[in-house]
C-alpha cells in the first residue's frame, strides 16, 4: 500500500530515521536507532525550553504592564542565546565548605532525570523512544530521582537557605506526588493499560467530529484539573513556588549555584514541567490525536506540540496571576482537598465503568464529583476569616 501524502507528512521523521539507520551495518542499527531518538528528544525539548523562557518573560511582562525582553534579535526572540552565552562564560562558584562531589552531581542528576521521562512520551504516531509495558510507572519512577537531586543540591551547598528550600521542595513534591499518581490512575483504569502508547491509541477514535479523549467524561475533567494542580506543585511553579520563593529564601536549593550549573537547574525545572504537561496530554487530551475528525490531515507531532504550548501558556498565565501560598495552606490543600477528591474520582471512574452509557451516567458521575467538592471547600473554609486585610505600615 502506497502511503498518501498526508500519511507521508505524518511519518516524515519516522521514515527519515529508518532511512538514516539503514545506511549503517545491521549490528549497529538498533543502537543507532535509539541514539538518533535521544538526540532528537534532547534537541527539540532544549529548543522548546529556549522558546518558553522568551514566551514566559514576554508574557509576564505583558501581565505586569511592561515590555519584557525586546532587544536581542527580532522582538527579543534571540534572548535565550544571549542568556546561554552569559551563563557559559560566568565563573562557576563553588562554596569552600560545600561537598564538592555531591554539589557537582546534583544538577547533572536533575537534568538526567528530567530527560529520562521523555523516553515514554509518544510525541506523534509511532514516535516514542520506548513503548514500555509499564510506561506510566517508568515516568513516575524517574520523577522520584528529581527529589533526590534537589536534596543533594540543598544539602551539599552548606547553606541554611538552600537546605530550607530543599526541605520545602521535598515535602511539597512528596505530598503532591500522591494526588498526581491518583489522578492518573483513573485513566489507567479506563484504558486497562500502563503503556502510554496504548492509552493514546484508545483516544484516537471519533464520534461524528468529536474525539474520544478521556477529558470528555466527568472523571476525565476532574482528573485533568486535579492532575494539572498537582503538576504545578510538582514542578515548583507559582502559586506553589515556596521552595524557591525569591523574597524569603532567595531561590531555595540552588542559591549556591552559578553559571552553567544554575542554567542546568533552570533547564531541569522547565523540562520537568514539559514532561508532566506531556503526560497530562497523553492521559487526558488524546496525546497526538487531532481535536476534530476533519483536522486529522495535520501531522500528529504538530498536534502534540500545539497542545504542549497551550498548557505552557496556561502555566505562564497562572504564574502571572496568582500569589504564592503559605506552607500550611499548601499542605492542607494537598491532604485535605486534593487527596479526598482524587480518591472520589477513582470511585467515580469505577461507577462510570459499570453503568450503562447515557445521560444518566453522566449526571450521576458529575453529581458524585461536584457535591463533595462543594462540601469539602465549604468545610475547609469554616473557622477562617476572610476579611479585607489591613496593613499597619502600608496604608
Binding positions for other proteins, rule: CB under 8 A:
99, 102, 132-134, 137-138, 140-145, 147-148, 151-152, 155, 170, 174, 193-194
Per the structure block, which three cell numbers stand in for 16? 527519515
Shorter beta-carbon distance to other proteins: residue 171 or 309: 171
139: nearest Cα among 107, 184, 190, 187 = 184
Could you tell me the smallest distance in angstroms from the CB atom of residue 377 to other proteins? 22
Shorter beta-carbon distance to other proteins: residue 55 or 148: 148
Per the structure block, which three cell numbers stand in for 12? 516524515
Could you tell me the smallest distance in angstroms from the CB atom of residue 254 to other proteins? 18
- Tell me the C-alpha distance between 226 and 306, whole Å: 22
Could you tell me the smallest distance in angstroms from the CB atom of residue 339 to other proteins? 12
Integer angstrom CA distances of residue 316 from 180, 244, 257: 20, 16, 25
Could you tell me the smallest distance in angstroms from the CB atom of residue 174 to other proteins? 7
Return the DSSP state at 83.
H
Which residue reads 538526567 in cell numbers?
112
Identify each DSSP E strand in 148-280 by its residue range: 206-207, 210-211
- Tell me the C-alpha distance between 151 and 349, whole Å: 36
194: nearest Cα among 233, 147, 143, 140 = 140
Shorter beta-carbon distance to other proteins: residue 32 or 145: 145
Could you tell me the smallest distance in angstroms from the CB atom of residue 145 to other proteins? 7
Which residue reads 542568556 in cell numbers?
83
Q: Chain-centre distance of CA 360, in angstroms? A: 34
Could you tell me the smallest distance in angstroms from the CB atom of residue 348 to other proteins? 19
- Tell me the C-alpha distance between 227 and 180, whole Å: 5
CB atoms within 10 A of CB 173: 20
Could you tell me the smallest distance in angstroms from the CB atom of residue 193 to other proteins? 8
Shorter beta-carbon distance to other proteins: residue 132 or 221: 132
Shorter beta-carbon distance to other proteins: residue 33 or 99: 99
Q: Which residues pair with 124 in a beta bridge?
A: 127
Shorter beta-carbon distance to other proteins: residue 60 or 137: 137
342: nearest Cα among 234, 188, 222 = 222
Shorter beta-carbon distance to other proteins: residue 193 or 296: 193
- Tell me the C-alpha distance between 164 and 323, whole Å: 20
DSSP three-state, residue 210: strand
Could you tell me the smallest distance in angstroms from the CB atom of residue 194 to other proteins? 5
Could you tell me the smallest distance in angstroms from the CB atom of residue 163 to other proteins? 8
Could you tell me the smallest distance in angstroms from the CB atom of residue 366 to other proteins? 28
Shorter beta-carbon distance to other proteins: residue 151 or 303: 151
Q: List own/partner pairs for 160-164 with CB under 8 A and 24 or more apart.
A: 161/249, 161/250, 161/252, 161/255, 162/252, 162/253, 162/254, 162/255, 162/256, 163/253, 164/249, 164/252
Amino acid at each position: 500500500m502506497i502511503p498518501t501524502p498526508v500519511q507521508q507528512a505524518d511519518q516524515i521523521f519516522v521514515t527519515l530515521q529508518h532511512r538514516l539507520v539503514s545506511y549503517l551495518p545491521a549490528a549497529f542499527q538498533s543502537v543507532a536507532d535509539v541514539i538518533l531518538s535521544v538526540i532528537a528528544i534532547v534537541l527539540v525539548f532544549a529548543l522548546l525550553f529556549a522558546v518558553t523562557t522568551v514566551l514566559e518573560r514576554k508574557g509576564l511582562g505583558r501581565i505586569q504592564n511592561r515590555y519584557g525582553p525586546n532587544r536581542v534579535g527580532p522582538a527579543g526572540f534571540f534572548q535565550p542565546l544571549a542568556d546561554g552565552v552569559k551563563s557559559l562564560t560566568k565563573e562557576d562558584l563553588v562554596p569552600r565548605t560545600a561537598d564538592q562531589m555531591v554539589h557537582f552531581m546534583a544538577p547533572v542528576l536533575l537534568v538526567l532525570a528530567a530527560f529520562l521521562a521523555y523516553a515514554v512520551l509518544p510525541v506523534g504516531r509511532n514516535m516514542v523512544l520506548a513503548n514500555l509495558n509499564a510506561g506510566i510507572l517508568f515516568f513516575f519512577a524517574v520523577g522520584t530521582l528529581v527529589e533526590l537531586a534537589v536534596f543533594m543540591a540543598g544539602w551539599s551547598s552548606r547553606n541554611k537557605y538552600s537546605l530550607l528550600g530543599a526541605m520545602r521542595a521535598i515535602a511539597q513534591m512528596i505530598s503532591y506526588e500522591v494526588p498526581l499518581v491518583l489522578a492518573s490512575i483513573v485513566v489507567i483504569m479506563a484504558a486497562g493499560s500502563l503503556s502510554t502508547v496504548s492509552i493514546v491509541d484508545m483516544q484516537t477514535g471519533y464520534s461524528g467530529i468529536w474525539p474520544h479523549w478521556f477529558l470528555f467524561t466527568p472523571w476525565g475533567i476532574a482528573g485533568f484539573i486535579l492532575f494539572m494542580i498537582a503538576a504545578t506543585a510538582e514542578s515548583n511553579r507559582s502559586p506553589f513556588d515556596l521552595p524557591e520563593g525569591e523574597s524569603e529564601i532567595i531561590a531555595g536549593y540552588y542559591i549556591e549555584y552559578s553559571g552553567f550549573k544554575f542554567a542546568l537547574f533552570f533547564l531541569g525545572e522547565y523540562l520537568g514541567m514539559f514532561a508532566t504537561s506531556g503526560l497530562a496530554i497523553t492521559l487526558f487530551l488524546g496525546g497526538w490525536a487531532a481535536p476534530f475528525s476533519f483536522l486529522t490531515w495535520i501531522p500528529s507531532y504538530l498536534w502534540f506540540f500545539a497542545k504542549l504550548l497551550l498548557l505552557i501558556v496556561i502555566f505562564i498565565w497562572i504564574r502571572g496571576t496568582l500569589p504564592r501560598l503559605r506552607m500550611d495552606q499548601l499542605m492542607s490543600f494537598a491532604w485535605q482537598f486534593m487527596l479526598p477528591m482524587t480518591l472520589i474520582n477513582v470511585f467515580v471512574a469505577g461507577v462510570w465503568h459499570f453503568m450503562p452509557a447515557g445521560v444518566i451516567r453522566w449526571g450521576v458521575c458529575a453529581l458524585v464529583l461536584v457535591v463533595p467538592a462543594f462540601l469539602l471547600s465549604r468545610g475547609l473554609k469554616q473557622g477562617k476569616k476572610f476579611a479585607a486585610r489591613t496593613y499597619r505600615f502600608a496604608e
